[in-house]
Amino acid sequence: MSRKKDTYTYDECFEQVRTMARLFGLMFYHFSNLAVEEMGEKKGKEFVAKVVKRFGLERAKRVKAEVKKLGLKPTLENYGKVLDLPRIGWGGSTRETFCPFAEVWMEKGAEDLCKLYCDVDIWKFVGYSSKIKVKRLKSVLEGDSDCAYDVKEEK
């Protein structure tokens, strides 16, 4: 058993986050796969989509509450002022160019099933503010080089 360290380097933290993210991706893969096996493709995918929606809305609620604690309004400008995901561990030049979840899902050949998870980003915006409208433009799970969204706020 390894002894706990008092401090960790950036690279050590990066690898710890990456490891945890890969494990989450693997868990989601098995969860989604079993839902489809047990319920059939249509009902299984609908079930997974509902779980992702709940998860996204819960995350949005937490972000919105934290933004309000800062004395700010839940606007698009303030959305990124609360940390919802680690800033390290995703790799690439930006979060959009590499996803450790997607890496696992592509290794498993489960892009079509696991891309249901990507709607979590849409639900996070929707739950955060009804004035924010989101449309997915690109996805690495659909063969694109990065993930991109059109995110706009109604005034």
**Is this structure's pTM higher than 0.75?**
yes
- Looking at the chain, the number of H-run helices and the number of E-run strands are 6, 2
Within-domain flag for 97:
yes
The answer to whether the CB of 100 falls within 8 A of the CB of 90 is: yes
Write the CA distances from 22 to 3, 19, 35, 93, 130, integer angstroms.
23, 5, 20, 19, 32
Q: Please report which confidence band the pLDDT of residue 93 belongs to, taking 50, 70 and 90 as the band edges.
A: low
Question: Running DSSP on this structure, what letter comes out for residue 2?
Answer: P
Q: Please report which confidence band the pLDDT of residue 85 belongs to, taking 50, 70 and 90 as the band edges.
A: confident
Within-domain flag for 31:
yes
What pLDDT digit, counting tens, does each position of 124-135 carry?
999 999 999 999
The answer to whether residue 92 scores a pLDDT higher than 80 is no
- The pLDDT of residue 38 is 98
Tell me the angle at which helices 41-69 and 10-39 cross, rounded to the nearest 10 degrees: 140
What is the SS3 assignment for 52?
helix
Within-domain flag for 5:
no
Within-domain flag for 4:
no
- The pLDDT of residue 108 is 96
What pLDDT digit, counting tens, does each position of 19-47 carry?
999 999 999 999 999 999 999 999 999 99
Within-domain flag for 41:
yes
Name the one residue in this structure whose structure tokens are 């924010």: 132
The total domain count for the chain is 1
The two three-digit tokens of residue 64, written as one number: 């919105």
Within-domain flag for 143:
yes
What is the C-alpha end-to-end distance of the chain, expressed in Å? 55
Cα atoms in the 13 Å half-sphere on the side-chain side of 20: 10
Within-domain flag for 118:
yes
Show the domain range for 85: 10-153
Chain length of the chain? 155
